[in-house]
Every structure is written in structure tokens, then in C-alpha cells.
Amino acid sequence: MGKLGKKARKFAKKNLQSVLRNKRKLNSKFKRKASKRDNQDIEENLENDATNPSNERIVVEEFQDTSLDALFSEDDSEVLGDDSDSDGFLSEDSSFSHVIGSDNENENYIGNSNGASSLSVQNKDICADLLKKAKKLNKLKEKDPGFSKFLESYNMKIEQTEDEEISSDDEKSLDRVQPVDNNSACSHVGKLLTSASVDSLCKVIKEQCNVPALTCLINAYREACHNDSEAISVSGCVFTHGIQKSETFCKILMFMLHEADTTFRRLLGISSSSSRKETVLDLKNTTKWLSVRPLIKSYIRSTVFLLNQVTDSEILAFSICRLRASIIFLFAFPSLLRNLLKISVHLWATGHGSLSSHSFLIIHDIVSASSSNWFDFCFVKTYKAFINHSQFVERKFEHIHFLRNSFVELCCLDVQKSSNKAMTCILHLGKILQNGWQTKKKEVVKTICSWQYINCIDLWVTFISANIHDYDLQPLLYMIVQIINGVALLFPGPRYLPLRLRCIQWLNKLSGSSGVFIPVTSLVLDVLEYKITKDSGKSGKVLQPMSTTIKLPKHWLKSRGFQEECVSSAIELLSEHFAQWSYHISFPELATAPLIHLKKVFERTSVESFRRVIKRFIDQVELNIGFVQKKREEVPFSPKDQQSVESFLQVISHLIHL
């Protein structure tokens, strides 16, 4: 029977008409070639099924760029036109040709400078040979200690002879200074600038504002600023051997930074208290300006170059502080002003203490004096610098606060422009958050749970809180509140307690500054559910403050310190929220639901310290509820009288906050 049954089934599958008919239908389906239109429809359906399994067509804007500083694209290679003099040293008075050199020598130098490319190749070869010889010399020093001692003694003899030559040159230059007329104040300068000659130049400039002497000293100042970066001299310069003594170097720098602005103002007839850029722009076509303009530009260019080369914070702070006094001259040179702003933004973000403060002050003064012409440039540069330097908050927490507050102060100079740009920045934060909610990709979630993203939210919360009373920033307020709630709900676990507490603090701050009710009780009460049970947890305290971290380690969750932080933070934030609305007519209804929840927490908690804090808070809230209810029963108006409702107990609230 078994074999017969199998044969019958095989025969039926092969020969029954219904089976054959089904096979023909299937073969016709598979053998039919699909048209191009059908192929396109199939591909579109597959894509739709992959992106939307429920076949619902939801149009979502594709958003892949999660970098926070990709908002404002700016071409840093853009160079503003500057019709000023060429770079280099200034041409000096023709009466000093015996000091500078003959015209034939200058022409020869200019002719040779055209072959700079060939000279650079030769310089590379010479440097390579010198490196080889230096290596051989070091090997000889290691092998033979006596040889190294001989070299040291030889170097000391050379230095002594150089000092003797310099001192003799000083005496000769001093002998030449006395009979020279004031109009040729620079003729005492030899091929090597000495300390005595610098003193003589400074005296003539300070007493008489002598332009030839100022030209000589500005050339010296340029060489002093470029001393470490240039190995060869420039034609037309007073110095062929450079500045060899640190004392002379410091004298030139200190005098120019101290007295240059005052001297320029005296030559142009500008008062020392004038800070309007129009003062200089009005002098653009005058003979005074045309004669002093190259000197001013050389001084500013050299100082900006110095800021790019020096690493000592005290020298940088002093230089940028003194350059701040000459801001009115900077507007005549847009390219130099642009370079100075870039350097100032960098020093503001990376410096510390007085250097960072002075760098921001020069940015602030430029924006204030330029009538918002440079506002966009400064906004973009400072915002990008803030984002790029706000990720290492554990090491420089106070500095991040300074950067945030100073940026907000800069935005307050033009709130209308700042609010438009803030809208763009907040929308970008919202798109990143939306992408995180939809995709849950690791990279996007990591971007949201980062110090850069958190500090950006904190930045705009501070800006909105500072200006919402005087300007209409309600759209920004609504958007930032939605982002904060989204961040708090995206990371609900106990390890993200610091992030949740920070979100509640932001909401309380926005509510207090705007006067708009923002509910936070649900977020606060969720904090009390983080293992606040009969189990008191292990002994120990949280080792790091909540304000300096975003995510807690797992081993902290079982400690007593974590539970204490949950209770104390929840009560503190709820107290702040209730204090903002403690004299509002609807306070009894606002506090009813949180009190019910707190009483349940109080009943199931066995830790006496927790119970004591919660019980005291409940008692205080109930006392305030009774006070508001008593005052509410005495009012003569109805709930429909909106104006009377808003003014309920506002006098008492205002007096208490004062």
C-alpha cells in the first residue's frame, strides 16, 4: 500500500488538469519580461518598503550632516581689497643714504631678488650641508669631551670680541648724535642698531614728533617683530645685521606699543579720547593722512604679525591691549582688520585670563564701532570657535562659561541680527535631534550626548533668557523648549541623571526669565524613581560633581551618594519651579499632583535622611497652598477676568524678589 500510494501521488501531480493549469500560470508569470516602467515601479516600491514598512508615505527631509559647526560656510581664502602700500620696510629720508646704502646697491638687491626661486634652491642645498656637518660635529663632541670644552672656550672669546665692537660702535654713534640737526635724527643709526641709538630715537619722537625718526623706528619695529622669521635683510633697511641684543629688542617693542597711537594722533590732530571710525575716514584725502598712512599701516601690520608669532601670554595680552587703542586706524585697512579679528577670536577661545578677556574686548570694540558692518563675520568666527573649544569641559569648565557669556554679550550688540542667526542655529540643533529620534544611529546619538551639543543649547538658553524681556523671542523660546524636552526624553536612564538635571535647570531658567509656564514636574518626579526604595544602597559618595559630567559610570548607580543626589536635586529643582509660581492664583492646582507623588515616595522610603527632606518640603508647599487659597477666597473678581488674575498677589511677589 505504501509504494502504491506514492505512485498515485506522483501520477496525480504530473497528469491532473488542475495541476497543469497552475503550472502554466506560474510559468507565464516568470517568463514575461518586465517593462522599464514596471522595473521603475518595483524599485520605487522596494525603496518605499525599506524606508517605510507600513507603506505610509511620510515625507522626511534627508539630514545627514550632524556636525554643529557646518552651518555657516565661509571662504577663509577671501581677501578684502587693500590699496595700501606694499609690504616691507618704509623708504627713509634721502639725507641718510650713507646709512642705508647707495642706490646702486639697492638696484643690485632688487635685481637679485628677481631670482629668488634659484636662491631658495641654493639655500635648501646649503641647509642640507649644514645639517650634515652639524651631525658630524655632535658625534665628535660625544666621542671627545675635550673637543667640546675647546668649542665652548672659543665661543666665549668670540662673544667677548663682539661685545667690545658693539660698545665701540655705541661710543661712535653717541659722538655723531650731538652735532646732528633734528631734521636728520636718524643719521646717528649705524649698520647695527644699539640701545643708545634707540633711546635717542625715542627721545626725538616723543619730544618733537619727528617723522624721519619715527620712520626709522617703525622700520626697526618691523625688524624686531620679524626677527625670528626672517634670516636675510631687506633693501632700504637701516639694519644689515639685525637686532642682536634682547634689551634693544624690548625697548623698541615697548616704546612702539606704548607711544605709537599717541604719536599718530598728534601727527593727525586727533584727540586721544576719540574712538569714532569716521574721524579717520574723514581724513582719507588730506595731505596729513597720506603722509602718515604708510607709517600707521606698517605699525599695525607688524603688530598683527607679532601676535601670530609670539607664544608668551603676557606679551600677547599687552600687545593686543595696546593695539586696541588704535582701532579707529584699523578701519582704513580692511584686510589687516580681518586678520586681526581672526587672531583675536583664536586667542579669545584658546587663551586664559587677561589674554582671553583683552582679545574679546577688541572684538567687542570693533563690532561696536563699525555699526554692525563686521557683526556677521565676528558672529560666525566666534560661534565656530565656541563649538570647537567647548568639548573638553571637564578641564576648563570656567573658561567655557566665560566664552558663553562673552558670546552672548557680543550678540546683544545687535539682537535683531543675532535672533535671525540664532533661529538658524537652533533649527540645526533640532534637525540633529530629530535625526537621532528617527534613526537612533550611534553617531547621531553620540553627537546629541556630547559637550558640544549641550553647550550649544546652554548658549542659546542664556541668550534667550537675557533678551526675552526686551525683544520678541517667543519663536526661539518655543523651539529651544522642544529641543530640551526631546533631549531629556531621548536619554531616560539613571546613568543620564546629570543630563536630565541640566535640562530641568534650563527649563526653569527660561520659565523664570520669560514669565511663561513651562511644566517640569514630570521630569523631576522621574528622577525620584531612580531606585529610591527600601534598599539604602552601598556607602560612598559621588566622586565627581553632576555639573561636570553628562553620563555616570555604572558603579555609581548603586551608591548612597547617587541616591542622595537624586533626592536633593529633585527637591531643589522642584522648589525652584514652585518658587516661580508660588504667588500665582493657580498654585494650589499646580502643586496638588506633585504632592500626591511625593507622599507616596515618602511612604515607601526607609532612609531617614530622605524622609526628613521630603517631609519638610511637603509641609512648606502645603503652607503656601493654604496661603494662596485664603487670598483667593477674598478676591472679588471671577476667573474670566484675565487682567485681575494676572495681577493676583504680584505686588507681594515683586517685593519678595527684590
- Choose between 579 and 72: higher pLDDT: 579
Angle at the Cα of 33 from the Cα atoms of 31 and 39, rounded to 5 degrees: 130
User: What is the rounded distance in angstroms from the CA atom of residue 321 to the CA atom of residue 330?
Assistant: 14
pLDDT at 548: 77
Q: What percent of the chain has pLDDT over 70?
A: 66
Cell of 265: 594722533
Q: Residue 160: CB partners within 8 Å, gap ≥ 6?
A: none
Evaluate if residue 410 carries a pLDDT over 90.
Answer: yes
* Amino acid occupying residue 245: K
**C-alpha–C-alpha distance, residues 501 and 490, integer Å:** 14
Lowest mean pLDDT among 73-87, 314-328, 405-419, 635-649: 73-87
User: What CA–CA distance (Å, rounded) separates 633 from 630?
Assistant: 5
pLDDT in tens, 622-652: 999 998 888 888 777 777 777 766 777 665 5
In whole angstroms, give the CA distance from residue 279 to residue 514.
41
What confidence tier does 363 reach under pLDDT thresholds 50, 70, 90?
A: very high
Higher local confidence (pLDDT), 65 or 200: 200
The model's pTM: 0.71
The letter for the amino acid at 76 is: D
Averaged pLDDT, 82-105: 44
Q: Which of 618, 642, 647, 643 is nearest to 631 (CA)?
A: 647
Torsion of CA 235, 237, 240, 243, to 10 degrees: -140
Listing DSSP states for 411-476 in one string gives HGGGHHHHHHHHHHHHHHHHHHHHHHHHH--HHHHHHHTSHHHHHHHHHHHHHHHHHTTTS--HHH
Flag the least confident range among 223-237, 363-377, 400-414, 539-553.
223-237
Residue 198 confidence (pLDDT) above 60 = yes
152-161, 364-373, 549-558: which has the minimum mean pLDDT?
A: 152-161
Which residues contact residue 510 at a Cβ distance below 8 angstroms, ignoring those fewer than 6 apart? 461, 464, 465, 477, 480, 481, 516, 518
Report pLDDT digits (tens) over 306-319.
998 888 889 899 99
Q: How far apart are CA 639 and CA 363, in angstroms?
A: 52
Judged by average pLDDT, the poorest of 5-14, 140-149, 378-387, 615-624 is: 5-14
Does the CA dihedral 393-399-405-411 come out positive or negative?
A: negative
Torsion of CA 587, 592, 598, 603, to 10 degrees: 140
Which of 122-126, 152-156, 209-213, 450-454 has maximum average pLDDT?
A: 450-454
Confidence of residue 331 (pLDDT cuts 50, 70, 90): confident
Q: How far apart are CA 490 and CA 74, in angstroms?
A: 33
